[in-house]
Amino acid sequence: MLSHAEEDAMSTNHYDPEREAELKAEAEKYIPPGYDPDLYKIRHSAAHIMAQAVMERFPGARIAIGPPVKDGFYYDFELPRSPTEEDLAWIEQRMKEIIKGKHRFHVREVSVEEARELFEDQPYKLELIEGLAQGQYDEYGNKLPEDQRPKITVYQHDTFVDLCRGPHVEHTGQIKANAIKVMRVAGAYWRGDEKNPMLTRIYGTAWRNRVELEQYLKRLEEAKKRDHRRLGKDLAIFAIEPQMVGPGLVLWQPNGAVIRDQLERFLKEEQIRRGYQPVYTPHIAKVDLFKTSGHYPYYKDSMFPPMVVDENEEYLLKPMNCPFHIMIYKQHLRSYRDLPIRFAEFGTVYRFEQSGEVSGMTRVRGFTQDDAHLFCRPDQLEDEFKSVVELTLKVFRSLGLTDFRARVGVRDPESDKYVGSDDVWEQATQAILNALNDYDFDYTVEEGEAAFYGPKLDFVVNDVLGREWQLGTVQVDYNLPQRFDLTYIGDDNQPHRPVMIHRAPFGSMERFVGILIEHLNGAFPPWLAPVQVVLIPIADRHVEYARSVAARLFAQDIRVKVDESASRMNAKIRAAQMQKIPYMLIVGDKEIEHEAVAVRLRSGEDLGAMPVGEFEAKVRQLVAERTMDLW
């Protein structure tokens, strides 16, 4: 093993500790806001160490990039073959050895020429160097602002030299060998473009110490238990039969149907109050409808193939509801006095998602949007938009989903997949941004996240595995009214073009319920719980009384069951707990005597005996209020 002095000497021909300190200090600015600086450096350095180990295991491997990510890091390689479990174990072991060598990380600035020379066998690095040389891209291939010309720096530890902007730990010994783990391999396209070759991405994780690593692994285990696919099965909420029914096609079991129905009722009430009119439309329509809307040419690939009735008659499963609602709008001549018109429908749509993408309830091929389309005059747009945002916020908050992210999706200027003129897009985007000024939640503006007909405001929530899902969405659309030639007659007796808002507070019932399952860990509030109350008779002689109490509650629209199984009381309680039923009513001799029930909450709290009427009134009240509270 080399001494530090020897490494220092070897690392560069002109080792300059002062310059190095400067560069390292400068590199600190690359730590993203909100990312723990220590962990960032540990993970970034661990990525280099892993790359060294991989190069030793696969001599001649090509290296791409290796940044820290949430909870860990990865490095992308082009390898002669796919790594096996043994390879990964070897790499992890070797990483631990390198760490124990306490090799120092050295940095120096190099010229473009020297960088090209250093990485002459590394085509991906050369590509990055060219980007740096032109001053347009940083070493991760991200575009840089005009005024920012990057330095080219290389970091070295032990035998491994990498084009890298840093920052890193001082020496490998600052990483704990028992706090790192090689996690898994995945494919990833070079620079995220599917036209490029697919590289092998190796994910790893690194923490400050062993305890933190263990806590992280524990957290992953816990997350799996909360996974809506797991809970959806355990709690009989939904099912998917890929072989018989099809991938991404959801079967709502009775429990799931209760949850969905309650959510739908909630939203319908809110919508009626806000002047929405329910409509119903078919699941299929002629191709012509989607040609007019613009779906057909742009999104043909993500629709199920057409049903051909005969040569001139083809039908498509609808991927969206809007064209149908537009056709309803067109049934009459509309006056400016009629607007806004708001058509609402829980409309089921079908989209042929890529096979690698369907997942549980969150990414499916058939789903029901809580859709509505608002047709309004331009002067009404802002108020309508805000009213929709407020409805969405109300829906989220009343379900405890406060941890959302707001995203304004605008066009990707380099893509041609959008319909409509530039100024119309600009107009729509401004309308959204203006309206948002009045709210206190933060939002980000992201290119390429728009709908094909207009920009949108999305409410994005994480699942238990940290993946983001778009739930509620509000979209401003000047394009479809034009394509369908929608008009209303203004006070000047002339036809005018209405503006449309597409909106879905839940997004889709499938995805929303999937995410809700995870957020609530399957423990639904009383108003949503598939079974609200279970009667637990202590012995067989108490069954009859339990039934009579159940009948009384049932008559008050409370969803109630009697556990008449031959199990002991403790087993019945356990079963009810595992089904996350909010209320367990234990009835024995004492309760029968006093027309009472002994109330146990899902939380484990024992409220003792109370008159049936008292319990009934309390539950009815909690359900009517649609509160998250158990008692």
Partner RNA sequence: GCCACCGUAGCUCAGUCGGUAGAGCAGCUCACUCGUAAUGAGCAGGUCGUCGGUUCGAGUCCGACCGGUGGCUCCA
Residue 392 DSSP SS3: helix
* Known catalytic residue at 502: yes
By CB under 7 A, residue 240 contacts RNA? yes
Active site residue 322: yes
Residues contacting residue 123 through CB under 8 Å, at least 6 positions apart? 62
Pairing between β-strand 106-109 and β-strand 153-157 as defined by DSSP bridges = antiparallel
CB of 418 to RNA, least distance (A): 9
Closer to RNA by CB, 302 or 482: give it: 302
Residue 297 engages RNA in binding (rule: CB under 7 A): no
Subset of residues 242 to 281 that bind RNA, contact rule: CB under 7 A: 242-243, 247-248
Residue 500, interface with RNA (CB under 7 A)?
A: no
When asked if residue 226 is in the footprint of RNA (CB under 7 A), the reply is no
- Per CB under 7 A, does 578 bind RNA? yes
3 state SS of 7 = helix
**Nearest approach, Cβ of 322 to RNA (angstroms)?**
8
Smallest separation, CB 108 to RNA (Å): 31
How many whole angstroms separate alpha carbon 348 and alpha carbon 368? 4
Q: Say whether 337 is catalytic.
A: no
Using CB under 7 A, which of the segments 144-152, 238-246, 262-270, 379-387 binds RNA?
238-246
Q: How far is the CB of 175 from RNA (least distance, A)?
A: 23
Asked if residue 299 binds RNA (CB under 7 A), the reply is yes
Q: Can you list the pairs that 59-67 forms with residues at least 24 positions away whose Cβ atoms lie under 8 Å?
A: 62/121, 62/122, 62/123, 62/124, 63/122, 63/124, 63/125, 63/162, 64/124, 64/125, 64/190, 64/199, 65/124, 65/128, 65/139, 65/140, 65/141, 66/162, 67/140
- Quick note: the x/- pattern for RNA over 48-87, rule CB under 7 A, is ----------------------------------x-x---
Set 52, 271, 369, 475: catalytic member: 369
- Least distance in Å: CB of 76 to RNA? 9
CA atoms of 340 and 375, how far apart (whole Å)? 5
Give catalytic status of residue 351 as yes or no.
Answer: yes
Cα 179 from chain centroid (whole Å):
28
Write the CB contacts of 521 (distance below 8 Å, at least 6 apart in sequence): 226, 231, 580
* Range 145-174, binding RNA (CB under 7 A): none
Q: Which is nearer to RNA, 100 or 417 (CB)?
A: 417
- Residues 302-341 within binding reach of RNA (CB under 7 A): 302-303, 319-320
Tell me whether residue 52 or residue 579 sits nearer to RNA (CB atom).
579
* Angle subtended at Cα 353 by Cα 465 and Cα 305, rounded to the nearest 5 degrees: 170
To RNA, the closest distance from the beta carbon of 349 in angstroms equals: 8
CB 166 within 8 A of CB 27: yes
CB 614 within 8 A of CB 549: no
Cβ distance to RNA smaller for residue 60 or 192: 192
**Under 8 Å CB-to-CB from 594, ≥6 apart: which residues?**
609, 611
Q: Is 573 in the site for RNA (CB under 7 A)?
A: yes
Looking at beta carbons only, is 198 or 624 nearer to RNA?
198
Per CB under 7 A, does 598 bind RNA? yes
Q: Give the residue, chosen from 310, 403, 414, 540, that forms a contact with RNA under the rule CB under 7 A.
A: 540
- Closest approach of Cβ 489 to RNA, in Å? 29
Q: Nearer Cβ to RNA, position 89 or 198? A: 198
Three-state SS for 223? helix
φ, ψ dihedrals at 339, nearest 5°: -85, 155
Beta bridge partners, 601, equal 583
Q: How far apart are CA 89 and CA 103, in angstroms?
A: 22
Which of the residues 108, 125, 168, 456 is marked catalytic?
A: 456
DSSP 194-215: TTSPEEEEEEEEE-SSHHHHHH
Binding range to RNA, per CB under 7 A, among 21-29, 252-260, 337-345, 532-540:
532-540
Structure tokens at 454: 């207009």
Helix, strand, coil content of the chain in percent (nearest 5): 40, 25, 35
The catalytically annotated residue of 48, 325, 365, 502 is 502
Peptide bond preceding 167: is omega within 30 degrees of 0, i.e. cis?
A: yes
Please report where in the chains the tokens 């747009």 appear, as a residue.
Answer: 381
CB of residue 416 to RNA, shortest distance in Å: 11
> What's the one-letter identity of residue 373?
H
Q: How many residues bind RNA (CB under 7 A)?
A: 76
Contact criterion met (CB below 8 Å) for 82 and 200: yes
Q: Which residue in the list 351, 503, 519, 559 is annotated as catalytic?
A: 351
Binding status of residue 619 toward RNA by CB under 7 A: no
Site for RNA in 175-214 (CB under 7 A): 184-189, 192-194, 198, 200-201
Within residues 352-381, the interface with RNA by CB under 7 A covers 352-360, 363
Active site residues: 322, 351, 369, 371, 373, 456, 502
